[in-house]
Amino acid sequence: MSDLSEAMFTTPEMASVFSSAALVRRMLAFEAALARAQAAARLIPPAAAEAIAAACDADEPDLPALFREAAEAGTPAVPLVRRLTARTAAAGRGFVHWGATSQDVVDTALVLQMRDGLGLLERGLRDVAAACAGLASRYRGSLMPGRTLLQHAVPITFGLKAARWLAAATRLRRRLRDVRAHVLAVQFGGAAGTLAALGPDGPRVTELLARELDLAAPEVPWHTERDRIGEVAGALGVVAATMGKIASDLVLLSQTEVAEVSTGAQAGAGRSSTMPQKRNPVEAVAASACARLALGVVPVLLAAGVQEHERGAGGWQAEWEALPALFRYAAGAVDWVRRAVETLAVDEGRMAANMTAAHGLMMAEALVMALAPRTGRDEAYRLVADVCAQAARAGADLREAAAADERVAAALSGAALERVLDPARYLGSADAFIDRALAAFAEEPA
Amino acid sequence: MSDLSEAMFTTPEMASVFSSAALVRRMLAFEAALARAQAAARLIPPAAAEAIAAACDADEPDLPALFREAAEAGTPAVPLVRRLTARTAAAGRGFVHWGATSQDVVDTALVLQMRDGLGLLERGLRDVAAACAGLASRYRGSLMPGRTLLQHAVPITFGLKAARWLAAATRLRRRLRDVRAHVLAVQFGGAAGTLAALGPDGPRVTELLARELDLAAPEVPWHTERDRIGEVAGALGVVAATMGKIASDLVLLSQTEVAEVSTGAQAGAGRSSTMPQKRNPVEAVAASACARLALGVVPVLLAAGVQEHERGAGGWQAEWEALPALFRYAAGAVDWVRRAVETLAVDEGRMAANMTAAHGLMMAEALVMALAPRTGRDEAYRLVADVCAQAARAGADLREAAAADERVAAALSGAALERVLDPARYLGSADAFIDRALAAFAEEPA
Amino acid sequence: MSDLSEAMFTTPEMASVFSSAALVRRMLAFEAALARAQAAARLIPPAAAEAIAAACDADEPDLPALFREAAEAGTPAVPLVRRLTARTAAAGRGFVHWGATSQDVVDTALVLQMRDGLGLLERGLRDVAAACAGLASRYRGSLMPGRTLLQHAVPITFGLKAARWLAAATRLRRRLRDVRAHVLAVQFGGAAGTLAALGPDGPRVTELLARELDLAAPEVPWHTERDRIGEVAGALGVVAATMGKIASDLVLLSQTEVAEVSTGAQAGAGRSSTMPQKRNPVEAVAASACARLALGVVPVLLAAGVQEHERGAGGWQAEWEALPALFRYAAGAVDWVRRAVETLAVDEGRMAANMTAAHGLMMAEALVMALAPRTGRDEAYRLVADVCAQAARAGADLREAAAADERVAAALSGAALERVLDPARYLGSADAFIDRALAAFAEEPA
Amino acid sequence: MSDLSEAMFTTPEMASVFSSAALVRRMLAFEAALARAQAAARLIPPAAAEAIAAACDADEPDLPALFREAAEAGTPAVPLVRRLTARTAAAGRGFVHWGATSQDVVDTALVLQMRDGLGLLERGLRDVAAACAGLASRYRGSLMPGRTLLQHAVPITFGLKAARWLAAATRLRRRLRDVRAHVLAVQFGGAAGTLAALGPDGPRVTELLARELDLAAPEVPWHTERDRIGEVAGALGVVAATMGKIASDLVLLSQTEVAEVSTGAQAGAGRSSTMPQKRNPVEAVAASACARLALGVVPVLLAAGVQEHERGAGGWQAEWEALPALFRYAAGAVDWVRRAVETLAVDEGRMAANMTAAHGLMMAEALVMALAPRTGRDEAYRLVADVCAQAARAGADLREAAAADERVAAALSGAALERVLDPARYLGSADAFIDRALAAFAEEPA
């Protein structure tokens, strides 16, 4: 699939991990591992395991036909096991898929794909975090307006903004490691979760099988208790939303009137078909689109967790499409954000200019806090609101209006007023927060 | 893409309508139509229109490269217009994409895809309806338990059940025709919706363009007012949910303990990999999976309707992936239901047997209604509840328990009781409802 | 419920229409109408109908107890019918709820609530449309930047922006009228959809009942075919998303750096608890929150459409909570947008100033189109891109850079260049589109 | 709010935790704790802290008015701080809400509500788990059909089914404890996340504030990085889906044709308004409805995580409604499942009878596995499929058909065949899995 979907809404690596061909390879890996585990448990002859494993090494020759038959059978396991059996040497032919059910092989294959997919997302988030850490350090002192409800609030620095993105990315990395620990469990239950065909050997074979595949052995099979899948879905949804947040910030900062950052320094990106002056924030826009698509898949997977009795009739099957889609879109969101933050051009001059845009009113809170110890916070608030209104009426600066106000003058000397209204002195714990985000990043594996 | 996704979760026809290659062909169709419309409006020379149309006839040679560049540019229009311009003969080269914006061509191409997609869905629903009409006629008198909250309630017929599916399918067909009328409008607004580059000729060219493409001309451009897309999303969501309902009924009727229908008469369908006795209701299960996937896309498209200013930054781009996905999944849901109802095996004997399963208690309401004119509904209800409890305690039939009850005997003769407890006499308007559903179907175009 | 939810996320009117108490009143209205219809059909004595109707006139005395019993019974119909029966005079007591099932009364009550709810939404949208029509007329000529992907594109007018909102609101009003026509149908099917207890009189009583309640009589009962509910859900979702779009535009236009509009002229609205200078766009923000909440309910209702056999086991019950929630949130979204557009302060001076913000580069497309007839669009695009780059390097205006460019000078005289770069001359069909949106509004009922 | 919503779709305890009144109480608790923390940090006088804390002890007198003003202000913090300030004694009046922003108090109040809400959910899940553990022990040996795609597969026991529910509930309990550890962090950042008003004392006051409230102190403020909220949303979604799964199983097992369990032993529950024989599985149906409603809120909260700059404009506000809704619905789902499993009536006789329903074909896999060591799995599968078909044609039992088949007879003696077809001998690891689920339960806190 080399189409618009693959080009815009995922990465080639994730598309490859979750291709249908990769699913089939993972299913064969399960069958080989199962045979080895059963040979180790002396349930089947060693020669059988060797024969099966050898047959599993081969790529499936005609995937389109396989998938057509999968649709007829309602599961890809049925035609694959048939083909695998047919091409397994006589010694193993009778022992293919021994004691397993379709869902064992499909679920475990999906788990193996998820392992790779989580790895890709973790690496992507690491790169996002590293780029944000660079921005947090480099722009630690770069003043810019803090904006709440998209209105100027009080000053912040661009370093702090990047540090907040960084802190979130670090939390996401930790969260994905938890997910890994909870979720990467083999599925093995047989036809209805009893492993009946293995007699009393179910748990032992499960352990061996898990070891073969380097997965956890679950306490019980989980054919229709999909909390593991749900946990993946929730976590990737949070990844997507967080990427959406960073992308949204970048789109807003890129606006013509704001122009504090621009993305996609590379030649040609974001051009318009008719307007030669335009540079669209395409990376951030694409990240936002991917995040929306990923978020749309989450409720499908959560709702699919309501599965009937010992095998779901609809919910389980929907996962085959939805899980790959979720990983693909989440990877797209992470990667477009990565591209944006790695190539971000930051215009500190513009940030400084925007600070002064609204008559310096952004420093009103600072003035309130400076007056409050003397007047009480409430009275100070009213007083400064008054001064702001005067400034607005006069088209003047807060600084000028404050200096002209007798009540302010009574409380603060001219020099004190200057200090109070200096945004660089009204940053509170910004530096401390940047340090903490960088420290948390430094503790993560590289 | 000949993978599991295409084999199980859509139809080949719909996959083809919404392929990326088809999108590009539709985009070229827009550019050709635009040139012709502008020549007709004397904005560009006829020879230019001919040259452009000729260049639009060719298939794009290297789609993967085109899509890669689309991702960089943030829209497929930019690289496509560049390529198209390059290969247009000199007479037309200067007039390619004249006055249009990327969104004009992409949106109109999606509208053209949707037109074909709606056609496929309508034909699918027609086939579903036809099969249900057949079932409604054939099984008009086949008694079966009506089930509410999955408990036996009162008798119905399988014909009535199929007629209800039919009535819903007929309403959906009408609804899709409405959607067609509301939604299939050309997009043409230029860079920011003013058609500035066309001077005063915008509305006239829009009319001519719409005529070229056999689409409606909207009253104003709709770049960021996506109610049309939202209406499609809602309607396809309802289609999916209704298919899900039919599929759910079929899965429930196929249960081993119920066994009133079986789907997939074709050889081999629904086999298990380990249990030779099994015949899984794979068509219905696949329909349910497709319906879930389709429903997951609807909120993505609705939320994408919140688009910024004159062009969306994220929502619009998400539509390129979500709209095709919605049509693909909806087509899968309709087609799997079609396969299921077209090949449905109905076991009237089993239906009759299930009628008597729970001691004939399903006729309790009939007995209440027969006694009510004499005792009042309330008293009758208590009396029959009493009789039901007696039957349950004695392991007897409602018939026996009722006959043994003095209060019942006082009100109804033995023959009258027989009549009252005959399920075939307690079908009320079932026949009338079947007739109405068939009549509504007959009014629809074939 | 006079809590934060009611204060912020709905309107008092909609909260009242969808209160549980209102549901009970509508259920009683159904029972009264049913009795009257059955008396008219001579199924029950006229005196019975009078007695029942009289008992339905009274308000339920102890709603909390009623709802507790409803939860135990799994439906509010069971305890309500019991209470109603108990208080109906002897003449009618035996005929309460005759032949109906719980779902008949609950569904029809919901339909009656939806009728009122749709009326409120239509009036709200009318007011939104009227305010937008006012803005479209008043600011027809007020130039402002058109913004695509939040970048300046080409000039528009604020009148055009308001006209686009107006056109969408007008389409929504039409859509809700369609919904009304499709959806407001009585539910009447009896225990399993056959109206068995009415013998052959089902359709006739249905007609009479529908007439009593001024609802449509459906062709067949629709207990578990919820396409009507799904259509409401989809349509309200589109209403919510469109309100979200207007709200998003308002938030963006209110940004400190843009400042082209401000909402909430009323004293005190949108103040911050600590920053005296702030005026938050609270109406638009609240509208956006309501829109998000409404959109969240849509998939619940669509998915609830997958209902089992003759009565849903979970999906139907979820509707009792979800349908009221959807109407409440949608009403909140419409009303907050109404408040915002009705009190909108528009700063034309700021719009004009923002036009020139980015070195006049917004007129680049106009220059391309002016040069294109001479050079071809492609060459003109390259040339103007060049001029834009020169302007950017020199910190100059597009106007200056273009005047200084020999190639431009060769094609356009100084006066011609002035005309080309005058944004007021590059508005294309903006006026025509405003006229069309106003005309469509004028055709609507007042 | 004592309405249908509260009676059916939540618990009184959770409704109380997430009432608007409780939100206000939590907001006051924040303000009191902040004052104490700032006094401890010597930022404000001890007397000020005492005065503020005293004023926070009082209940707000006019909540409806407060919420109306909250809607005007766009946040409940503005009117609450105003009122609190007004009623604080002079010593403290000037120091109320010192250095905090609206979002600090609202978010922390929500976190405090979530702490209580998580506690309720954990207790609910503990009770569900305890009831399932009881069922797993009591019915450890009760044979029933395992059902995949709702078809009989191979035997299981009801104890195993309950043990799988138990294992899932145990995993959910652990997950909620993780969520607690990740999520219950104070919010404290001041106007734009710098704690500017506190000078360098931000981190220290944050620590003290967190200690006062027994919450974690986050590394940095998290006003617009909502991964914590998203993690709650995801986890509660998984809780809801798992409750939906148990409820779905119960509804299916309660079907008239299956009748292996019945819920709601209490008198009167689940009665129909017209059918005296009915006992609807109302607890499971209500649980399913609550689960659907909860799942609908999850994507609202995840999407709300895309928040702008330093304070969200729409997403944050939507959380105020959505988070309480999610907890309320999740509590409803857990509690209805609890009621169902605590009062579950299990019909072992019916389970045994259903085992034999389909001609004993459920033992087909056992026969395959018994023959496979001799014939190979593939050949055994074909052979047994053949025998099953013979049984079906003859209306005979698998046992009879197998005994009559020469190939089977050649492989298995009559006694061996008996053993092979004895379902009690074909349970594999069912007991071991039950033991593991019970052991994991026993390790949890009581």
Minimal CA–CA distance to C182: which of B177, D384, A208?
B177
- At D89, the pLDDT band (50, 70, 90 cuts) reads very high
Asked whether residue B157 is domain-assigned, the answer is yes
Contact across the interface for A276 and C358, Cβ inside 8 Å: no
Judge whether residue C284 has pLDDT over 90: yes
- Chains linked to A by 3 or more Cβ pairs within 8 Å: B, C, D
What is the β-pairing status of strands A151-157 and A143-148? Answer: antiparallel
Contact between D143 and D351 (Cβ < 8 Å): yes
Place of tokens 């196929």: B254
Q: State whether C305 and C377 are in the same domain.
A: no
Q: Which residue of C102, C321, C327 to mutate against D (max D Cβ within 10 Å)?
A: C321
Q: State whether A321 and A343 are in the same domain.
A: yes
Q: State whether B391 and B246 are in the same domain.
A: no
Contact between C437 and C170 (Cβ < 8 Å): yes
Minimal CA–CA distance to B145: which of C73, D255, A309?
D255
What is the C-alpha to C-alpha distance for residues D150 and B257, in angstroms, rounded to an integer? Answer: 9
Judge whether residue A267 has pLDDT over 60: no
User: Which residues from C are below 8 Å from B217, CB to CB?
Assistant: none
User: Which residues from D are below 8 Å from C71, CB to CB?
Assistant: 4, 7-8, 286
Judge whether residue C337 has pLDDT over 70: yes
Asked whether residue B435 is domain-assigned, the answer is no
**DSSP code, position D344:** -
Residue C306 phi/psi, 5-degree rounding, is: -85, 85
Asked whether residue A428 is domain-assigned, the answer is no
Confidence at residue B271, expressed as pLDDT on a 0 to 100 scale:
67
Asked whether residue B434 is domain-assigned, the answer is no
**D292 closest CB neighbour out of C6, C74, C303:** C303
Span of A130-134, A436-440, D354-358 with lowest mean pLDDT: D354-358
To the nearest whole angstrom, how far is the Cα of A326 from the nearest Cα of chain D? 14
Confidence at residue C379, expressed as pLDDT on a 0 to 100 scale:
87
Confidence at residue B374, expressed as pLDDT on a 0 to 100 scale:
85
User: What ranges make up the beta strands (E) of B208-365?
Assistant: 261-262, 345-346
What is the SS3 string spanning C314-335? CHHHHHHHHHHHHHHHHHHHHH
Residue A94 phi/psi, 5-degree rounding, is: -75, -5
Would you list the DSSP string of D144-206?
A: EEEEETTEEEEEEEHHHHHHHHHHHHHHHHHHHHHHHHHH-B-----TTSS-GGGGGGHHHHH
Nearest chain B residue (CA) to C430: B194
Confidence at residue A355, expressed as pLDDT on a 0 to 100 scale:
92
Would you list the DSSP string of D239-285?
A: HHHHHHHHHHHHHHHHSTTT-SEE---STTTT--SS-TT----HHHH
Minimal CA–CA distance to B124: which of B324, B343, B334, B326?
B334
Q: Bin C396: left if φ > 0, else alpha if -120 < ψ < 50, else beta.
A: beta
- At A268, the pLDDT band (50, 70, 90 cuts) reads low
Last residue of a domain, one of A352, A379, A400: A352
Mark out the alpha helices in B88-101 (DSSP H runs). 90-93
pLDDT for C341-360, tens place per residue? 999 999 999 999 999 888 88
Chain B with chain C: Cβ pairs closer than 8 A:
375
Q: State the catalytic residues of D.
A: 272, 311
pLDDT for D299-349, tens place per residue? 999 999 999 999 999 999 999 999 999 999 999 999 999 999 999 999 999
Contact between C275 and D80 (Cβ < 8 Å): no
- At D120, the pLDDT band (50, 70, 90 cuts) reads very high
Judge whether residue C1 has pLDDT over 50: no
User: Which residues from B are below 8 Å from C365, CB to CB?
Assistant: 191, 196-197
Confidence at residue C87, expressed as pLDDT on a 0 to 100 scale:
96
Q: State whether A241 and A119 are in the same domain.
A: yes
Q: Going by C-beta distance under 8 Å and a sequence separation of 6 or more, which residues neighbour residue C241?
A: B226, B227, B230, B302, B303, B304, B305, B306, C291, C295
Judge whether residue D285 has pLDDT over 60: yes
**A321 closest CB neighbour out of B5, B68, B73:** B5
Q: Bin C79: left if φ > 0, else alpha if -120 < ψ < 50, else beta.
A: alpha
Nearest chain A residue (CA) to B255: A313
User: Which residues from C are below 8 Å from A282, CB to CB?
Assistant: 149
Confidence at residue A1, expressed as pLDDT on a 0 to 100 scale:
44
Q: Going by C-beta distance under 8 Å and a sequence separation of 6 or more, which residues neighbour residue A356?
A: none
Contact between D285 and C112 (Cβ < 8 Å): no
CATH number, domain with residue A29: 1.20.200.10
Nearest chain D residue (CA) to C318: D289
Confidence at residue B360, expressed as pLDDT on a 0 to 100 scale:
85
**DSSP code, position C217:** P
Contact across the interface for B225 and C376, Cβ inside 8 Å: no
Q: State whether D253 and D392 are in the same domain.
A: no
What is the β-pairing status of strands A261-262 and A345-346? Answer: antiparallel
Confidence at residue C154, expressed as pLDDT on a 0 to 100 scale:
95
User: Which residues from B are below 8 Å from C83, CB to CB?
Assistant: none
Instruction: Calculate what percentage of chain C has a pLDDT beyond 70.
Output: 97
Q: Which residue of C154, C256, C363, C383 to mutate against A (max A Cβ within 10 Å)?
A: C256
- HSE of C297 in the Cβ direction (CA atoms, 13 Å)? 32
Q: State whether B120 and B259 are in the same domain.
A: yes
pLDDT for A420-439, tens place per residue? 999 999 999 999 999 999 99
Contact across the interface for A289 and B63, Cβ inside 8 Å: no
Summary mean pLDDT of chain C: 94
What is the C-alpha to C-alpha distance for residues C75 and C67, in angstroms, rounded to an integer? Answer: 9
Structure tokens at D313: 């404009």
Confidence at residue D394, expressed as pLDDT on a 0 to 100 scale:
87
pLDDT for A352-396, tens place per residue? 999 988 888 899 999 998 998 888 778 888 899 999 988 888 888
The catalytic position among C68, C174, C272, C374 is C272
Mark out the alpha helices in D343-396 (DSSP H runs). 348-355, 364-375, 377-394
Last residue of a domain, one of B332, B352, B372: B352
Q: State whether D329 and D384 are in the same domain.
A: no
Residue range of the domain that includes A405: 361-420
Nearest chain A residue (CA) to D229: A238
Q: State whether B342 and B370 are in the same domain.
A: no
Most distant CA pair in chain B: distance in Å?
A: 101
CATH number, domain with residue B370: 1.10.40.30
Contact between D427 and D157 (Cβ < 8 Å): yes
pLDDT for C88-128, tens place per residue? 999 999 899 999 999 999 999 999 999 999 999 999 999 99
Confidence at residue B268, expressed as pLDDT on a 0 to 100 scale:
55
Contact between B346 and B260 (Cβ < 8 Å): yes
Q: State whether B344 and B370 are in the same domain.
A: no
Last residue of a domain, one of A294, A317, A352: A352
User: Which residues from D are below 8 Å from B382, CB to CB?
Assistant: 276
Q: What is the pTM of this model?
A: 0.97
Judge whether residue A271 has pLDDT over 70: no
pLDDT for A298-334, tens place per residue? 999 999 999 999 999 999 999 999 999 999 999 999 9
**DSSP code, position B149:** T
- Point out which residues pair with C155 in neighbouring strands: C145
Structure tokens at A14: 């994730």
Q: State whether B18 and B82 are in the same domain.
A: yes
Q: State whether B331 and B395 are in the same domain.
A: no
The sign of the torsion formed by the CA atoms of D184, D185, D186, D191 equals: negative
Confidence at residue A130, expressed as pLDDT on a 0 to 100 scale:
98
Asked whether residue B440 is domain-assigned, the answer is no
Summary mean pLDDT of chain D: 94
To the nearest whole angstrom, how far is the Cα of C313 from the nearest Cα of chain A? 14
Asked whether residue A103 is domain-assigned, the answer is yes
Q: State whether D305 and D387 are in the same domain.
A: no
pLDDT for D415-436, tens place per residue? 999 999 999 999 999 999 999 9
- At A411, the pLDDT band (50, 70, 90 cuts) reads very high
- At D1, the pLDDT band (50, 70, 90 cuts) reads very low
Please name the helix (run of DSSP H) or strand (run of DSSP E) that holds residue C152, with its range, or none: strand C151-157
Confidence at residue B1, expressed as pLDDT on a 0 to 100 scale:
44
Asked whether residue A161 is domain-assigned, the answer is yes
To the nearest whole angstrom, how far is the Cα of B372 from the nearest Cα of chain D? 11
Instruction: Give pLDDT tens digits along chain B (446 positions).
Output: 459 999 999 999 999 999 999 999 999 999 999 999 999 999 999 999 999 999 999 888 899 999 999 999 999 999 999 999 999 999 999 899 999 999 999 999 999 999 999 999 999 999 999 999 999 999 999 999 999 999 999 999 999 999 999 999 999 999 999 999 999 999 999 999 999 999 999 999 999 999 999 999 999 999 999 999 999 999 999 999 999 999 999 999 999 999 999 987 555 556 666 677 778 999 999 999 999 999 999 999 999 999 999 999 999 999 999 999 999 999 999 999 999 999 999 999 999 999 987 888 899 999 998 998 888 778 888 999 999 988 888 888 999 999 999 999 999 999 999 999 999 999 999 999 999 999 999 999 98
CA-only gyration radius of chain C, Å: 29
What is the C-alpha to C-alpha distance for residues D384 and D361, in angstroms, rounded to an integer? Answer: 10
What is the C-alpha to C-alpha distance for residues A38 and A30, in angstroms, rounded to an integer? Answer: 12
Place of tokens 């409802």: B433
Please name the helix (run of DSSP H) or strand (run of DSSP E) that holds residue B145, with its range, or none: strand B143-148
Asked whether residue A443 is domain-assigned, the answer is no
Report the number of distinct structural domains present in chain D: 2
Judge whether residue D60 has pLDDT over 90: no
Q: Going by C-beta distance under 8 Å and a sequence separation of 6 or more, which residues neighbour residue A423?
A: A143, A155, A355, A362, A363, A366
Contact across the interface for C321 and D8, Cβ inside 8 Å: yes
